Amino acid sequence: MKRRTQQIIQKIVYMGIVPFVASYLFSLNGADFAAYVHSSDWVVALCDPQKRLMLIFAAVVFASLLIKLMIHINLADVPEHRSSHTVPTPRAGGLAIYVLMALTILVMGYLDLGIAKYPRHVWVSFLVVISVMAAIGLLDDWRRLPASIRGAAQIFCACIIVAQGVTFTKLQIPLVDIVELGSFSIPLTFLWIVFFTNAFNFMDGLNGLAGNVTLVVCLFILGFTGIHHHYEASVLALGLIAGVSAFLAFNFPKATIFLGDIGSQTLGVSLSILTVLVGESEPAFYSPYALPAILFPFIFDASFTLIYRLFQGKNIFKPHKEYLFHRLSRLYLSQTATTSVYTCLSTLYGVCALWCMKSNLNVAYVIFFALIIKLPFAFWLAYVDGRKSTKKR
């Protein structure tokens, strides 16, 4: 009975409340959106509150049916030494997220909504990129692929994106003026896409962790839209919200299916592209830091763990359970509580970023102060966990 009640609450929250909140946030800028875009049936659906809500709910229901199909197929994730679960569980639930994201990109690229800043061939490249990463992820879910193949696919996709001219072009260094990146824009964007796609894949280690943080990011993208009209990013965010909401209804706090590499790879590359899209919006002084600030719990965890293992002389390519979220759930908190902490931190950083935008302050300060606070805690957590592991031996 308790299990059944929990499942009902999961579905009410993720398949009811979250889509409603997303639709409401989008409606805050609905009048400007309606005036900005060209006339089409899709625009009418997005601008009308009732039709937009029905469209989002339909997408969520469609995604949930795909997820139930993957549960039935039962591409099982068998527990191993670095797994956080103990019972074989179906995976590849991220297929639904990929399908909705692909459909959203097709709508943006092939229907004349009037909001697409980039020409059609760029949207085709976006579709190719997420399709390649989804295919690699699905193969990895089915039969483990070497890290070299996954890395080559990520490099290939990053090259496609920068070749289309989708790059960061300027940053503002705190206490310094805006810096034009010039020839550094391509390598910086390339490194960001490869790094973050990898980081997001690594962070998919607890029920609901990757999904809930993605929801926070996408909801804040809709909030940013109300300030400076990130129309492309907001429509893509709606597609992600629909897919992720449907998935989380089956995954958090108790999982009947996992995201799988198809989901983590799709989310990672999609969010890295969204970061560039938002980063190139005006005014330039805050934009490149907006999404990295919200994603900072992930970025910091992946970066700290990588550097910490390098200094310890460990193989950084070998699978392990030394990420900060692993240590936190192993030492002090349950998996559900750890996921909640990361979600709350992302929400807090998002609120701070939004406040900085409204106050014409540089969002980079959010990252700077978060780094100062998190760094001592990370060293302490690694030290305590290391001592405990040594004693067990």
Is the model more confident about 320 or about 241? 241
User: Going by DSSP bridges, is the β-strand pair 178-180/170-172 parallel, antiparallel, or unpaired?
Assistant: antiparallel
- Rounded CA-CA distance 6/149 in Å is 39
Give the separation between CA 290 and CA 287, rounded to whole angstroms: 5
Mean pLDDT taken over the chain: 80
Residue 287 lies in a domain: yes
Instruction: Please indicate whether residue 205 or residue 374 has the higher confidence score (pLDDT).
Output: 374
Give the model's pLDDT for residue 284: 46
What is the tens place of the pLDDT at every residue in 283-297? 444 457 778 888 899
Question: Domain for residue 335, yes or no?
Answer: no
pLDDT given for residue 34 in this prediction = 52
200 occurs within a structural domain: yes
Structure tokens at 258: 């996992």
Within-domain flag for 378: no
CB atoms within 10 A of CB 270: 29
What are residue 179's DSSP bridge partners? 171
Domain that holds residue 177: 2-295
CB of 90 within 8 A of CB of 77?
Answer: yes
- Residue 285's pLDDT is 42
Question: Got the DSSP string for 341-355?
Answer: HHHHHHHHHHHHHHH
Within a 10 A sphere around the Cβ of 216, how many other Cβ atoms?
22
Tell me whether residue 307 is in a domain: no
Q: Would you give the distance in Å from CA 313 to the centre of its chain?
A: 30
**Contact status, residue 296 vs residue 370, Cβ threshold 8 Å:** yes
How many degrees, rounded to 5, is the angle at CA 295 between CA 198 and CA 124? Answer: 60
What is the domain count for the chain?
A: 1
With respect to residue 353, please indicate whether it lies within any of the assigned structural domains: no
Question: How many CB atoms are located within 10 Å of the residue 208 CB?
Answer: 26
pLDDT in tens, 264-275: 999 999 999 888
Q: How far apart are CA 185 and CA 268, in angstroms?
A: 20
* pTM assigned to the model: 0.86
Per-residue pLDDT, 301: 92
Q: Which residues pair with 150 in a beta bridge?
A: none
Question: Where do the DSSP E strands lie in 33-96?
Answer: 76-77, 89-90
Query: In this predicted model, which residue has the larger pLDDT, 132 or 83?
Result: 132
Provide the token pair at 382: 């690694």
The whole-number pLDDT of residue 132 equals 94
Report residue 179: phi and psi, to 5°. -110, 125
Contact 215, 241 (CB under 8 A): yes
Residue from 162, 192, 195, 168 nearest 180 by CA? 168
pLDDT at 127: 92
Span 322-362, pLDDT tens digits? 889 989 888 888 888 999 999 999 999 988 888 887 777 77
At residue 172, what are phi and psi to the nearest 5 degrees? Answer: -115, 120
Contact 303, 224 (CB under 8 A): no
- For residue 232, being part of any structural domain is answered with yes
Of 75-89, 149-163, 331-345, minimum mean pLDDT range: 75-89
Q: Is residue 255 part of a domain?
A: yes
Nearest alpha carbon to residue 134 among 305, 270, 299, 338: 270
Q: Quickly state the pLDDT bin for 131 (edges 50, 70, 90).
A: very high
Model confidence at 364: pLDDT above 90: no
Over residues 183-187, mean pLDDT = 87
